[in-house]
Amino acid sequence: MRRLGVFALMFCLSTALAHAADAPAQKFVVFFQQWSAALDDSGQSVISQAADYVKAHPGNVVHVNGFADPTGSKRANELVTDLRAQMVAEQLQTDGVDPKRIRQRGRGSVQFALSSQESRRVEISIGRH
Residue 60's domain is classified under what CATH number?
Answer: 3.30.1330.60
Question: pLDDT tier at 22 (50, 70, 90 boundaries)?
Answer: low
Q: Is 20 within the bounds of a domain?
A: no
Least confident range of 13-27, 57-71, 87-101: 13-27
**Rounded Cα distance, 29 and 19, in Å:** 25
- Position 68 pLDDT exceeds 90: yes
End-to-end CA distance of the chain: 41
Q: Is 71 within the bounds of a domain?
A: yes
Each residue's pLDDT tens digit, 91-126: 999 999 999 999 999 999 999 888 899 999 999 999
The answer to whether 53 and 88 have CB atoms below 8 angstroms apart is no
Record the pTM: 0.81
Q: Is 5 within the bounds of a domain?
A: no
What pLDDT does 113 receive? 84
- Position 2 pLDDT exceeds 80: no
- Position 129 pLDDT exceeds 90: no
Each residue's pLDDT tens digit, 25-38: 899 999 999 999 99
Q: Give the Å distances, CA to CA, from 7 to 2, 15, 16, 82, 105.
A: 9, 12, 14, 51, 46
Owning domain of residue 36: 25-127
